[in-house]
Amino acid sequence: MNAPQPPDRSGDRRQDEEELAVSRLRRDMPLVPASSIAGRALVSVIAIMTFLSCLTAGGAMLVASASQGWRSQISREVTIQIKPDAGREIDAQVEKAAATARAAPGVANVQVFSKQDSERLLEPWLGAGLDLSELPIPRLIVVRMQDRVEPDLSALRSALATQAPGASLDDHRLWLARLDTMADAIVLFALALFLLMISAMMLAIGFATRGAMAGNREIIEVLHFVGAADSYISRQFQGHFLRLGLRGGLLGGAGAALFFLAATALSAWWSNSPGGEEIVALFGAFALGLKGYVAIFAVAVAIGVLTAAMSRIIVFRHLRRLL
């Protein structure tokens, strides 16, 4: 008598294995493998370039806002200078000029520098302890204009000419024009640097995209043969490059933001020293302000988007040449 055979369950087992395989199907693997693109090197290049671009842009913004500050401060202030004249009593001239200035519309405040004040102004150059009474030192009156009122300086100038003939009005226009030119030159130079860096970065992205295309030539060919449209293929690359660009851009932007935060903190610390004062006078307190940080973030995101767009253009151009 034969022993009972165990039922054959190999078919069932195979079916179970297949069911398990179906339940574990991997289905969303990117068609262009991330490892095939020189990602880390590209992210580093983008991050460094973004960092430098943001520094340049931030620096330009600082100079622009500082020059705005100088401009508004200086243009709110004019100086009346009264030169000593043998024929006239200088104190009377000063009084008359001050009175004329006080009477002029739009004047907020008139500060008369006394003889002693004027001598003190010369101390840093001539040294202390000198008797300056014999020197014909001009006298100064600082006139501050009211905010939001356009001062009528030509009326003041002609009033001074009749009331105090020895007085001359200096509205710092020449000095202001030079400052303007310098600030504009710095901003333009920074803009040129910014554009150069963006161009260099785009070239690097171009090289990386071409490298990725060459490395994935077979994949592109297969995708073409199975009926993928060029737009579909370029989307596969574009997605990768958008991620790389955003990562690099945000890293570089975060670095630049940290740099400006540190610079703000350091400049507050420095500002007590004499050198620090000058730096603060030139660049402000290195305080970029919310607008500046938003601009850095916008540059970082724009670089990400630009990276994707650049790679898309290159991929499209490459695919157009293929059949």
Partner 1 sequence: MLHFENVGLRYGMGSEVVRDLSFSVETQSFQFLTGPSGAGKTTLLRLMLLSLKPTRGLIKMFGRDAASLDKDAITALRRRIGVVFQDFRLLDHLTTYENVALPLRVMGRNETSYRAEVVELLRWVGLGERMNALPPVLSGGEKQRAAIARALIVRPELLLADEPTGNVDPGLARRLLRLFVELHKSGTAVVIATHDIALMDQFPDARRLVISGGRLQIFDRDSW
Assess 227 for contact with partner 1 (CB under 8 A).
Answer: yes
Size of the site for partner 1 (CB under 8 A): 29
225 φ, ψ (degrees, to nearest 5): -65, -30
Q: Is residue 222 a contact point for partner 1 (CB under 8 A)?
A: yes
Q: DSSP labels for 227-294?
A: T--HHHHHHHHHHHHHHHHHHHHHHHHHHHHHHHHHHHHHHHHHTTSHHHHHHHHHHTTS--HHHHHH
Taking alpha carbons only, the member of 281, 222, 293 closest to residue 256 is 293
Q: Looking at beta carbons only, is 196 or 222 nearer to partner 1? A: 222
For the segment 21-60, give every residue that binds partner 1 (CB under 8 A): 21-22, 24-29, 31, 33
Q: Which one of 82-90, 145-153, 214-222, 258-266 is the stretch in contact with partner 1 (CB under 8 A)?
A: 214-222
Smallest separation, CB 227 to partner 1 (Å): 4
Compute the least distance from the CB of residue 180 to partner 1, in Å.
Answer: 54
The 8-class DSSP code of residue 197 comes to H
Q: Dihedral of CA 40/42/45/47: which sign?
A: negative
Instruction: Look up residue 3 and give its two tokens.
Output: 């022993």
Task: State the minimum distance, in angstroms, from the CB of residue 22 to partner 1.
Answer: 6
| Contact in structure between 115 and 54 (CB atoms under 8 Å) | no
Q: How far apart are CA 321 and CA 323, in angstroms?
A: 7
Of the candidate residues 223, 242, 299, 303, the single one contacting partner 1 (CB under 8 A): 223
Minimum CB separation of residue 14 from partner 1 in Å reads 7
- Tell me whether residue 77 or residue 230 sits nearer to partner 1 (CB atom): 230
Report the nearest approach of partner 1 to the CB of residue 245 (Å): 23
Burial class (CB in 10 A: 0-12, 13-18, 19+), 57: buried
Q: Which residues lie closer than 8 Å to 68 by C-beta, 6 or more apart?
A: none
Is the Cβ–Cβ distance between 112 and 94 less than 8 Å? Answer: yes
Question: How far, in whole angstroms, is CA 23 from its chain's centroid?
Answer: 53
Pick the binder of partner 1 from 153, 176, 219, 254 (CB under 8 A). Answer: 219
Q: Does the protein bind partner 1 through residue 11 (CB under 8 A)?
A: no
Residue 277 in contact with partner 1, rule: CB under 8 A: no
Least gap, CB of 243 to partner 1 (angstroms)? 17
Please select the residue that binds partner 1; options are 163, 224, 271, 302, rule is CB under 8 A.
224
Site residues for partner 1 per CB under 8 A: 14, 17-18, 21-22, 24-29, 31, 33, 218-219, 221-230, 232, 319-320, 323
